[in-house]
Amino acid sequence: MSFQNRSILDLTHPLTPGIPIWPGDPPVVIQPVADVAANGYLLHRLQLGEASGTHFACGAHFAEHGLTMEQFPAERLILPGVCVDVRGVVAGDPNFTLGVEHLQEWEARNGEIPEGSAVLLCTGWDSYWRAPKRYLAAPTPGYGVAAARMLAEERGVVGLGIDTHGLDPGSDTTFGTNSYWLHGERFHLENLTNLGMLPAVGFYLFIGALNIAGGAGSPARVLAIVEPDR
């Protein structure tokens, strides 16, 4: 794939102390241990959880014998994406749950969601990123289990992404969508940003996740490579 005439969109929040962190997860700590003036180079010590900031998770995150990061197929980390923009609905219903009917409406406008792709749900929630209490507070929008099941079993989708802190709507304290979704070679992306800049179709995702032995996930640099005229 040539990158000529394609635009690159960064869908990643910078990792900094004080960002929204799932309750109970370790906070992000970035501590300098060397600097150019004193040591001739700059180096930091990092403390953070696997699910810090914009992050990727694979099967082991919710399944006892699920794939861990070093087992996850590298070819799944570059794949076509589609974006379902529900900002207009979420503005009036912050507990919005994506259902099968919403996907059917999207496909009527944009065509069938391709097999082997990732679906990104644009809710506009990233606008609260700098207000962690608001960002993490329920209600929040998310994917319904029925929609996730349709995408997996009828469309062969392998990735779900969202610009909130979790796939599940805030009203679902059982993590039903994540529990269903994270099996086999499927993955999720959470805490994405800039999804409102994406077209509905016509882009690829590059997911720069860390290859952590035994890991269930990783902070990730997520880039969208958008085709010309999109």
For the chain, the structural domain boundaries read: 7-13+50-226
Q: Interior CA angle at 25 toward 22 and 29, to 5°? A: 110
Q: Is the pLDDT of residue 2 over 80?
A: no
**Using an 8 Å Cβ cutoff, are 117 and 81 in contact?**
yes
Query: At 28, is the secondary structure helix, strand, or coil?
Result: coil
* Residue range 121-161, pLDDT digits in tens: 999 999 999 999 999 998 999 999 999 999 999 999 999 99
Least confident of 19-33, 69-83, 165-179, 207-221: 165-179
pLDDT, residue 7, reads: 93
**For 156, how many CA atoms within 13 A lie in the half-sphere containing its CB?**
7
| Residue 15 CB neighbour total at 10 angstroms | 16
**Using an 8 Å Cβ cutoff, are 167 and 190 in contact?**
yes
pLDDT, residue 97, reads: 97
d(C-alpha 6, C-alpha 129), whole Å: 28
Q: CB burial class (10 A; 0-12, 13-18, 19+) of residue 126?
A: buried
* Residue range 52-80, pLDDT digits in tens: 999 999 999 999 999 999 999 999 999 99
Select 7-13+50-226's CATH number: 3.30.565.10, 2.60.40.10, 3.50.30.50, 3.30.40.230.
3.50.30.50
Q: Where are the beta strands (DSSP E) in 71-186?
A: 78-85, 97-98, 118-122, 142-143, 159-162
- Taking residues 3-32, what's their average pLDDT? 93
Q: Kindly give the residue spans of alpha helices, DSSP state H, lying in 171-216.
A: 176-181
pLDDT, residue 164, reads: 98
- At position 209, the amino acid (one-letter code) is A
Q: Is the pLDDT of residue 4 over 90?
A: no
